[in-house]
Amino acid sequence: VVLLTGMPGCRKKTLEIDTSPPYLRDLAEQLDFYIGTAVGYGSATFPNNSQYMKTLKREFNAVVAEYTMKWGTIRPDRETFNYGPGDELIKFAEDNKMMVRGHTLAWHQSVPAWVEDGDFTRDEAISLLEEHIDKVVKRWQGKIREWDVVNEVIRDGLTGQPGENPRRSNSVWERFIGEDWVEFAFRAAAEADPKALLFYNDYGIERKNRKQDAVFALVEDLLAKGVKINGIGFQGHFVSGNVPSEEELKANLDRFHDELGLKVQFTEVDIRIKKPVTAEKLAQQAEEYKRVIKVALEHPACDAVLLWGVDDGHSWINSSFPEHGAPLLLDSRFDRKPAYYAARDYLLAEIERRQGGEEGEEGGEKEE
Ligand code: G3I
């Protein structure tokens, strides 16, 4: 709200934002689909920013903790399990009928110093990892539908040279345990909550490339060993103007579903725009968001798209890629951007198409 006052006879002028229905979550629910978002924590976001909270409740039917379910928040020291922030998100999600994704049980980042700088034997590190996963998964058993058990094992910049090691070397788990830490993590999660869906999550794999090939090989090998993996999370941190085509995105989902039988999701979508942000670039971003949602909705093994943030003002992009901006559907005033309307219009059209289809064609069935 911007109040122009002070001058005699000045009228209050407010820059109202559009909060009219229909809302993304209601349309998604009619399509048996989830449109969700990552949720921050603290005074600027959840649970203290009222506009952030109103928008979150109004527009989304799935949530994922942006960082409060990671080691960095839960494990300040060896003895402590700080579930508080995660508990708050779980209760909020239950109160607002939202699906919850768990993120993430094992990753090379957000590792507290007592682990990163620790001196653990292989067996000690395996016990540490298994204990963490067992306790955290059981804490929210039955409340978290699916977990990103392992995040970002494969490194960037693969050259395809013979004998090249595709794995990250900067992972404390790789260092202490060795490559089989991934298997230990998935097996621990499956034992802790046999009903939870277990995902491998990564970025830069949304089109056919060496990194995607390495992820495919990693997951294929684990599945061959009988490790329970239900799905692949394609994070979808895109740069506007370089978002894969509809055909590429579909082929990407098809590869992991058709060949490995996996569920597929876009788990952390944002589409950052090279500054200066213009109306033309926002229009291009709108088309790109529609493209991602269309591919996801049409895929029988995909039932969710989650954005990595509620609004442009609270996006990790602002600090990590300062030369880019405006990555999400809502601007920093929580007002709707062209991308929001493009997403909403597509969901509306898809509902009408399926209603029309009920008289005749197939359409929209999702695999269990
Ligand atoms: O807000 C607190 C502040 O109160 C506290 O004093 C400070 C001290 O550590 O932490 C602040 O929270 C930080 C938070 O970002 C908000 O800025 C956390 O430390 C920091 O770890 C956190 O970074 C997150 C990062 O993952 C590492 O966990 C980002 O929010 C989050 O967007 C980013 O998300 C990752 C996904 O998990 C995996 N895929 C890539 C994606 C982007 O990097």
Active site residue 268: yes
CA nearest ligand 1 atom 13, residue: 67
In sequence order, the 6+-apart residues with CB closer than 8 A to the CB of 257 are 263, 264, 299, 300, 301
- pLDDT tens series, the chain, 368 aa: 444 444 554 444 567 899 999 999 999 999 999 999 999 999 999 999 999 999 999 999 999 999 999 999 999 999 999 999 999 999 999 999 999 999 999 999 999 999 999 999 999 999 999 999 999 999 999 999 999 999 999 999 999 999 999 999 899 999 999 999 999 999 999 999 999 999 999 999 999 999 999 999 999 999 999 999 999 999 999 999 999 999 999 999 999 999 999 999 999 999 999 999 999 999 999 999 999 999 999 999 999 999 999 999 999 999 999 999 999 999 999 999 999 999 999 999 999 999 987 655 555 678 88
Distance 71 CA to ligand 1 centre (A): 11
* Residue of 45, 46, 67, 211 with the most ligand 1 atoms within 8 Å of its CB, for mutation: 67
Residue 360 phi/psi, 5-degree rounding, is -160, -75
Q: Is the pTM of this model over 0.75?
A: yes
In sequence order, the 6+-apart residues with CB closer than 8 A to the CB of 33 are 296, 297, 303, 304, 305, 366
**Mapping DSSP to helix (H, G, I), strand (E, B) and coil, where does residue 329 land?**
coil
Distance 67 CA to ligand 1 centre (A): 5
Among 91, 115, 89, 117, smallest CA distance to 103 is for 89
Active site residue 130: no
Distance 70 CA to ligand 1 centre (A): 9
The label of the residue with tokens 């379910």 reads 69
Query: Residue 113: CB within 6 Å of ligand 1?
Result: no
Among 32, 19, 27, 35, smallest CA distance to 349 is for 27
175 burial via Cβ count (<10 Å: 0-12, 13-18, 19+): middle
